[in-house]
Structure 1
C-alpha cells in the first residue's frame, strides 16, 4: 500500500497515537494513554484538517474511549469526545458507534438518545456509507431498550436512506420488541442491584476479552518480529489493535461474532504471508 504523507502536525499526533496505544496495550497505563490521546487531539486543533489528520484524531479518540472505560470512567466518555468534536453531528461514525455500545453495555442508553438523534438527522451524515448500520445500532441499543417505539417507527419511516425491504425488516423488529416489552412488564423483572451487577460483569468480560486477544496478538507478533522486513513491529501491532477495537461493535462475547473474528484472523494471516513472501523480501545485506 502507499505510505501516508504526514504533515508535521499529523506526524506528531500519529506518534502520540502510537505511544497511547502502546501504553494501553503493552503497559496497561490507562491514565498515560488518555494523556497522550489528549495531547494528540490538542495538537491537531479544532479544524477538520486533512483526511489523514481526521483519521488520526478519530483513532486517538477510539484509544481514549477504551482507556477511560478500563479505568471505569465511562461516565466521562461522551463529554470527553465532544470537547474535540464540539457537536454530536460531527462525531466520526467509529466514535459514535463505540459510544452507543459503551453506554448500552453499562445500561445507560439514555445518554446517547439526543446525541444519536442529532447525528442521524444531519444531512451530511446521511450520505456516509456507515449511516444505515449506525441507524440500526441506535435503534437496537438506544431506542428499543428505552421503549421509544413510536420514535423508532418515525425514524425508520422518515429515513429515505433505507429501501423498502430494510424499512419492513426494521418495523418488524420494532413490533417484536414492543411485544417483548409488554410481556416483560407483566413478569417480575430483576432488581436494579442485579442489573447493575450484570452490567459490570458484561463490561469486565468485554475488557478481559480485549486484553486476552491483544496479549495473544502481541506474543504472535513478537515471535515473528525478526522477520518484519517491511512493517515496523509497533505499527503492525497498532494497526491490528485499532482494527480489533472496531470489531468490538460485534461484541466479542457473543457467539454470533466468532466467525467474523476468525475471518479477521485469517485475513491477518494472509496479509502477513504476503508481507514475508520471498517476492516481497528485500535482498539480504552482507
Structure 2
C-alpha cells in the first residue's frame, strides 16, 4: 500500500513556492500570501501550546510540522521586511504562535535582529523576556545564544542593565565562566550609561544639523545686508567728496549771516538781505544738482 502523505505536505509545497517567489522572482507580496496560506493550513498544530509533562518526541524527517511552520514564518518575515512593512512582523508572527514563549528560536532571533537594525529594539523587550523566562524553553540548546543576542541587541542598548543581570544569573545553560564574562559586559555597559548621564552638557554642546544649517542661512543673510549697507555708505561718501568745499562753506556763511547776524526788522537791512538771498540761491544751485534740488520758497 502507498503511504499517506503527512498532514503538513501541502504547507511544505506552499513553502517551496514562497521561497522561489522571494528569492528568484522577487515577488514579495505573492511570497507572503503563500506563507499565510501555508500557516493557515497547518492550524495550531502539535507543540504550539506546550503544557505540563514530558515533551513530545520530534516528528521524523527533515520537514516536520514545526520546521515547516517555522520556515514559513521566516520567509514571511523576510517578505514583510523587503516590502518595508517591518512594523507588522511581530504581530504577524504572533497570530500563528499566539504567545511569545511559543516562538521558535529561529523566529525570535530574526525578530530581534530586525527590530534592532531598524533602531526600535524596545519592541522586543517583553517578547524576549517572556521567551527567556519561560520554563518550557529552559532546556533548549538555543537558550544561551539567544540570551546573549537579547542582551547585546535589546537590553544593553536600552540601558536595562538590572534586567540583563537578572537574566544572566538565572540562565541555567550558562557555565560559570561564561556567566562571569556576561556579567562583566553588563557592568561595563552600566558604567558607560552612568558616565553619559553625568556629562549631559557635552551632548548638549553638539548642535543639531538643522540648527547649524539655519544659522548658516541667517549668517549669509546678515553678510548680504552688511555688504549692501557698505556699498550705500561708500556711494554716499563718494557723492559728498565730489561736492566743492568752497561753495559749501560760502552757503553756510551766507546762511549764518541771514539767520544770526542780521536783524530782519531793520529797514536798512532789507536791500542787503535781498542781495544775500540772491547769492544764497546761486550758491544753492551750484552745490546741488537739479535732480536733488529741494524747492525754495520766498
TM range (shorter): 0.5 to 0.7
What pairs with 1:23-62 in structure 2 (closer than 5 Å)? 23-48=21-46, 51=59, 52-62=64-74
Max radius of gyration: which structure? 2
What pairs with 1:260-279 in structure 2 (closer than 5 Å)? none
**Which residue of 127, 144, 149 corresponds with 2:139?**
127
1:162 equivalent in structure 2: 174
Q: Per residue, is there more helix in 1 or in 2?
A: 1
| CA offset digits 1:109-146 (Å, max 9, x no partner) | 11110101110111121101111000111111111011
| CA offset digits 1:64-123 (Å, max 9, x no partner) | 000000001000000000000000010000000000000000111111101011101111
Gap regions ≥5 residues in structure 1: 195-286
Gap regions ≥5 residues in structure 2: 48-57, 211-298
2:69 counterpart of 1:71 = no
2:9 counterpart of 1:11 = yes
What pairs with 1:1-286 in structure 2 (closer than 5 Å)? 7-48=5-46, 51=59, 52-185=64-197, 186=199, 187-188=202-203
Q: CA deviation at 1:62?
A: 0.4
Q: CA deviation at 1:169?
A: 0.3
Q: Is this contact kept in 2: 1:9–1:43, CA < 8 A?
A: no
TM-score of the pair, normalised by structure 2: 0.60
Structure 1 stretches (4+) deviating beyond 4 angstroms? 189-194
Output the aligned Cα RMSD: 2.3
Q: Is this contact kept in 2: 1:100–1:112, CA < 8 A?
A: yes
Q: Distance in 1 between matches of 2:9 and 2:184?
A: 48
Q: CA deviation at 1:165?
A: 0.7
Q: Distance in 1 between matches of 2:196 and 2:97?
A: 39
Q: Is this contact kept in 1: 2:144–2:171, CA < 8 A?
A: no
